[in-house]
Amino acid sequence: MDYGRSDAGARPAPAGPAADAAPSRRRPLALKVLIAGGFGVGKTTLVGSCSEIMPLRTEEHLTQASIGTDDLTGVEQKTRTTVVMDFGRIHINDDIVLYLFGTPGQERFWFLWDELAIGALGAVVMADTRRLADCFPSVDYFERRGTPFLVAVNCFFGEQRHPPEKVRDALDLDPHVPVVLCDARDRESSKHVLVTLVQHVMARRHRLTAGR
């Protein structure tokens, strides 16, 4: 049954030409890449430089975890909060679409990440060497989940204060995790980051298969 869970509990599909024709249509494969990192590190810029970009709003219930950081005393009614993510779409070919999700940087929205991370192809953790500690939580998160990721050091205005190897040491990264320098404003540079991520995903898969 091709329609998967959507049919569960629904009435049978209507008869007629459209119902018969739908399953034969080509279905795209949707791949998800997360763009993470601290506030103001250039996530929006990167998504916008290599794809069309749209803001995606979610309205979320504040969970217990997030309530800790929001003083809700006296406003018990307000249990929803709006989170805006950067959302980009890259048409690879007729069969494949790549979706980019700029993850909300604030830690109190981390409960949102889990849905984003399920089935993600990989993640780009953006780093600013002036505030390297801002990307620690993202690195931890993807390491813990086993999501393949790379670190992209956004070189603001050509500034590059630390070579990639220093960044790798400071973040205590696995030697396989790529560290690339980028200029998030530049399309070619952002494309290079994504290409490197996909190559990393592929190499990692080969390593895991070989190690079996």
Partner 1 sequence: MVRPYTLTGGRSHPVTTGLNLLTHVETLYAPEADLMGLQPEHREILDLARTATSLAELAARLDLPLGVVRVLVGDLLQANLVSTFEADAAVRAPDDDILRAVIDGLRAL
Which residues between 73 and 102 bind partner 1 (CB under 8 A)? 82, 87, 89-93, 95-99, 101
Cβ proximity to partner 1: between 35 and 132 the closer is: 35
Are residues 157 and 132 in contact, defined by beta-carbon separation less than 8 angstroms? no
Q: Is 144 in the site for partner 1 (CB under 8 A)?
A: no
Cβ proximity to partner 1: between 81 and 162 the closer is: 81
Options 38-46, 48-56, 139-147, 163-171: segment touching partner 1 (CB under 8 A): 48-56
Q: Alpha-carbon distance 102 to 13, whole Å?
A: 36
Cβ proximity to partner 1: between 120 and 181 the closer is: 120
Pairing, β 122-127 against β 29-37: parallel
- The single residue among 2, 76, 165, 174 that binds partner 1, judged by CB under 8 A, is 2
Q: Is 180 in the site for partner 1 (CB under 8 A)?
A: no
Instruction: Report the 10 Å Cβ neighbour count for 165.
Output: 9
Q: Alpha-carbon distance 15 to 91, whole Å?
A: 33
Minimum separation from the CB atom of position 185 to partner 1 (A) = 15
Q: Is 199 in the site for partner 1 (CB under 8 A)?
A: yes
DSSP annotation of 60 reads: E
Are residues 208 and 174 in contact, defined by beta-carbon separation less than 8 angstroms? no
Are residues 207 and 71 in contact, defined by beta-carbon separation less than 8 angstroms? no
Computed on alpha carbons and rounded to an integer, the radius of gyration of the chain in Å comes to 20
CA proximity to 189, closest of 117, 95, 142, 126: 126
Q: Is 56 in the site for partner 1 (CB under 8 A)?
A: yes
Are residues 22 and 109 in contact, defined by beta-carbon separation less than 8 angstroms? no
Beta-bridge mates of residue 182: 154
Cβ proximity to partner 1: between 166 and 204 the closer is: 204
Number of residues that bind partner 1 (CB under 8 A): 60
- The single residue among 4, 74, 158, 211 that binds partner 1, judged by CB under 8 A, is 4
Residue numbers at the binding site for partner 1 (CB under 8 A)? 2-11, 13-14, 16-19, 22, 25, 27-32, 50, 54-60, 82, 87, 89-93, 95-99, 101, 115-116, 118-121, 187, 191, 194-195, 198-199, 201-202, 205
